[in-house]
Amino acid sequence: MRILIIGAAGMIGVKLTARLIADGALAGKPIEALDIVDVVSPTVPPGAPFKIERRAIDLTVPGNADVVIASRPDVIFHLAAIVSGEAEADFDKGYRVNLDGTRYLFDAIRKVGGYLPRVVFTSSIAVFGAPFPPAIADDFFETPLTSYGTQKAIGELLLADYSRRGVMDGIGIRLPTICVRPGKPNKAASGFFSGIIREPLAGQEAVLPVEESVRHWFASPRSAIGFLVQAAALDTAKLGARRNLNMPGVSATVGEEISALRRIAGEAVAARIRRQPDATIARIVAGWPANFDTQRALALGFRADASFEDIVRAHIGDELGGTWVH
Amino acid sequence: MRILIIGAAGMIGVKLTARLIADGALAGKPIEALDIVDVVSPTVPPGAPFKIERRAIDLTVPGNADVVIASRPDVIFHLAAIVSGEAEADFDKGYRVNLDGTRYLFDAIRKVGGYLPRVVFTSSIAVFGAPFPPAIADDFFETPLTSYGTQKAIGELLLADYSRRGVMDGIGIRLPTICVRPGKPNKAASGFFSGIIREPLAGQEAVLPVEESVRHWFASPRSAIGFLVQAAALDTAKLGARRNLNMPGVSATVGEEISALRRIAGEAVAARIRRQPDATIARIVAGWPANFDTQRALALGFRADASFEDIVRAHIGDELGGTWVH
């Protein structure tokens, strides 16, 4: 089995690469080769039991998608995207990367004819826009309130149509907000959801700009990688024509995040969170989904973290070597 | 007020042109000029109380959308599309006209900057795919089962995002199946819904390929034109970020269609319908929506025909000069 990861230099791409190396197999079949591509050259980790080829290539240049799929991978993970904030700030770039780039890839597959790779597309809960029901089910409509969400929703529609027409065997998974996101704090409006766990565990102060009653929808990076692997292995006949689905997750308030941190790491760590209300961030976050009904994904075998404590423990285990700054 | 109709040579475009000429005004303002464009040159009807300019132009050629909006119309009716059957038969043409053509138009508007025309986009109930709830509400998800429906769903998403970003003031209306469609029988799978009314009233035999229990969702051409005019006049602030909506219509079975025809035109006319079951057509039609919950559109002032009898009467009045072949 040959696998392609597009967007391999990003956080999810790096972790997926590591997981595939650790497993040596996908969907019960041994991995023979892995192609990792991104706009910047991804790092090839050592120790893989199969050949890894890396390439720095811009998928938004017409013709480049043909190059990317020239090795005819059996499974394609399409993770590449301009994130929400940047797609909002740069209208043209967002549509070029998130819409045109995705369409070029799908059209390149179509041009081959009779190829039919499994394509796993990372969509987002940003395809939904407030106001929401108490729990968003799979049959709730997509009325995104960002260009990023719009582009992901269009990607979902293309994936379903190209799959229906026998071009590819696609599945789109709407990832929850990834938490705890490793690395440095960034300026994303959602950054504090991870920051209030990550920074205190690292002995640093974290700023909380919203009320503790704010509720959101989370999955650990470890769970997100599990979703991708499951999506690659799934019998897509079970999806019928509805090839895009909400992933399971943990619905938690900021207060519940803090309680989980306190229970695991103690009061001194939790005390490193400083309240500093920010009306702009509070307003943005109010438009985000808080809870989902994911019966369909659960029935298909997708598994999320069991609790927000599990999310904190996954971060401590995967990023901090099992411990933290007391 | 200056108005542009794109797709003006089609059935709806011709009727909308006639309505605007008859009204001489739109949204309470006198019409000063009307631009009618299509891939073939639309006919200019006589007697308009304002100037009409016509143009044959292909919107899928980059740059042509700039030409089409050079007169800076205040209201743009975007009706142009490759229909369902052709979009399914010709993958490239469907995406080129229905997706690229629409995006070129919206991007041409964006390029002007600060222009903000009202854009009325005709979407379709084909954005929905079976299985359905008993009545499809506005918050039901879009899982189209045709490329045409996919392209219309993408058009809706673009319209909403470009409107949110202040490029234009868009509204998308999902038209029911237009019935009774005037003109000659065609090979569309949906053709019989109109044919079993139109042909008998014209003294000709009509073929019915499905059971009388088949239910579908209808609006007369007269109602469809009413929706367009209402959409152009609407205070879009009432739409919020959800700028696409189901239009009201009449949910009727084929049996109810025939009963309405019999009540209005008599048994001899209804007897011109010949049952000739067609399993292929029956299967296609089974995937189509049958009923909608259109509270939102009704609250916004959109009005459909009151019954299928009204739909038959609209056809007799608008197309047959008030009478039929006994």
- pLDDT-derived band at A188 (thresholds 50, 70, 90) equals confident
**Chain A residues contacting B, CB < 8 Å?**
91, 110, 129, 138-145, 147, 150, 153-154, 157-158, 160-161, 164-165, 241-242
Residues B85-127 have pLDDT tens digits of 899 999 999 999 999 999 999 999 999 999 999 999 999 999 9
Q: What number is the average pLDDT over the span B206-221?
A: 97
Rg for chain B, CA atoms, rounded: 19
What one-character-per-residue DSSP string does B169-180 give?
EEEEEEE-EESS
CA dihedral of A126, A132, A136, A139, whole degrees rounded to 10: -90
Determine whether the interchain pair A241/B165 forms a contact, defined as Cβ–Cβ distance below 8 Å.
Answer: no
- Looking at chain A, the whole-number percentage of residues with pLDDT higher than 70 is 100
Residue B210 near residue B290, CB atoms below 8 Å: no
In A32-71, beta strands by DSSP E = 33-38, 51-56
- Complete edge-to-edge strand list for the sheet that includes strand A169-175: A51-56, A33-38, A2-6, A75-78, A118-124, A169-175, A244-246
- DSSP bridge partners of A172: A121, A244
pLDDT of residue A185: 80
Residue matched to tokens 């968003």? A136
pLDDT of residue B186: 75
Nearest CB neighbour to A129, from listed B141, B154, B241: B241
Residue A126 near residue A120, CB atoms below 8 Å: no
pLDDT of residue A286: 86
Determine whether the interchain pair B157/A154 forms a contact, defined as Cβ–Cβ distance below 8 Å.
Answer: yes
Where do the domains of chain B lie, and which CATH numbers do they carry?
2-176+220-246 (3.40.50.720)
Please give the helix or strand (H or E) that residue B14 lies within, else none: helix B11-23
A24 phi, psi to nearest 5 deg: 70, 0
pLDDT of residue B189: 83
Residue matched to tokens 């690659």? A232
pLDDT of residue B212: 97
Residue matched to tokens 């009898």? B309
Distance CA B311, CA B201 (A): 13
Nearest CB neighbour to B160, from listed A138, A143, A242: A143
DSSP tag of B1: -
- pLDDT-derived band at A184 (thresholds 50, 70, 90) equals confident
Determine whether the interchain pair B160/A144 forms a contact, defined as Cβ–Cβ distance below 8 Å.
Answer: yes
Is the per-residue pLDDT at B40 higher than 80? yes
CA distance A293 to chain B (A): 14
- pLDDT-derived band at A35 (thresholds 50, 70, 90) equals very high
Residue B190 near residue B274, CB atoms below 8 Å: no
Q: Chain A: residue nearest B111 by CA? A: A92
Q: Which residues, other chains included, contact B46 with Cβ-Cβ below 8 Å and sequence gap of 6+?
A: none
Tell me how many degrees the CA angle A45-A47-A53 measures, rounded to the nearest 5: 55
Which residue type, as a one-letter code, is found at position A304?
Answer: A
Closest CA to A187 of A158, A209, A167, A220: A209
pLDDT of residue B188: 78
With contacts defined as CB-CB under 8 Å, which chain B residues touch A164? 145
β-strands A29-30, A25-26 pairing: antiparallel
Residues A125-142 have pLDDT tens digits of 999 999 999 999 999 999
**Chain B residues contacting A, CB < 8 Å?**
91, 110, 129, 138-145, 147, 150, 153-154, 157-158, 160-161, 164-165, 241-242
Residues present in chain B in total: 326
Determine whether the interchain pair A141/B141 forms a contact, defined as Cβ–Cβ distance below 8 Å.
Answer: yes
Does residue B83 have a cis peptide bond before it, meaning omega lies within 30 degrees of 0? no
With contacts defined as CB-CB under 8 Å, which chain B residues touch A110? 91
| Stronger pLDDT, A281 or A163, i.e. the higher one | A163
Distance CA B160, CA B241 (A): 7
Residue A163 near residue A176, CB atoms below 8 Å: no
pLDDT of residue A84: 86
Helix residue ranges, H only, B117-190: 147-164
Determine whether the interchain pair A161/B150 forms a contact, defined as Cβ–Cβ distance below 8 Å.
Answer: yes
Closest CA to A172 of A127, A109, A135, A131: A127
The two tokens of residue A165 are 């027409």
Determine whether the interchain pair A145/B164 forms a contact, defined as Cβ–Cβ distance below 8 Å.
Answer: yes
Helix residue ranges, H only, chain A: 11-23, 64-68, 84-89, 91-94, 102-112, 147-164, 191-201, 221-233, 254-265, 267-270, 279-286, 295-299, 308-319
Distance CA A229, CA A224 (A): 9
Residue matched to tokens 């791409």? A13
Determine whether the interchain pair A144/B138 forms a contact, defined as Cβ–Cβ distance below 8 Å.
Answer: no
The two tokens of residue B273 are 């319908």
- Annotated active-site residue in A95, A104, A148, A162: A148
The total of other beta-carbon atoms located within 10 Å of residue B7's CB is 22
A175 phi, psi to nearest 5 deg: -70, 140
- Complete edge-to-edge strand list for the sheet that includes strand B215-219: B177-178, B215-219, B250-253
Distance CA A100, CA A79 (A): 14
In angstroms, the Cα distances linking B31 to B28, B111, B224 are: 9, 25, 20
Q: Which residues, other chains included, contact A309 with Cβ-Cβ below 8 Å and sequence gap of 6+?
A: A260, A263, A264
Q: Chain B: residue nearest A287 by CA? A: B241
Which residue type, as a one-letter code, is found at position B66?
Answer: D
Q: Which residues, other chains included, contact B96 with Cβ-Cβ below 8 Å and sequence gap of 6+?
A: B60
Residue A156 near residue A107, CB atoms below 8 Å: no
Residue matched to tokens 């299928």? B308
Distance CA A210, CA A320 (A): 26
Distance CA B274, CA A219 (A): 59
Does residue A38 sit in helix, strand or coil?
strand
Is the per-residue pLDDT at A216 higher than 90? yes
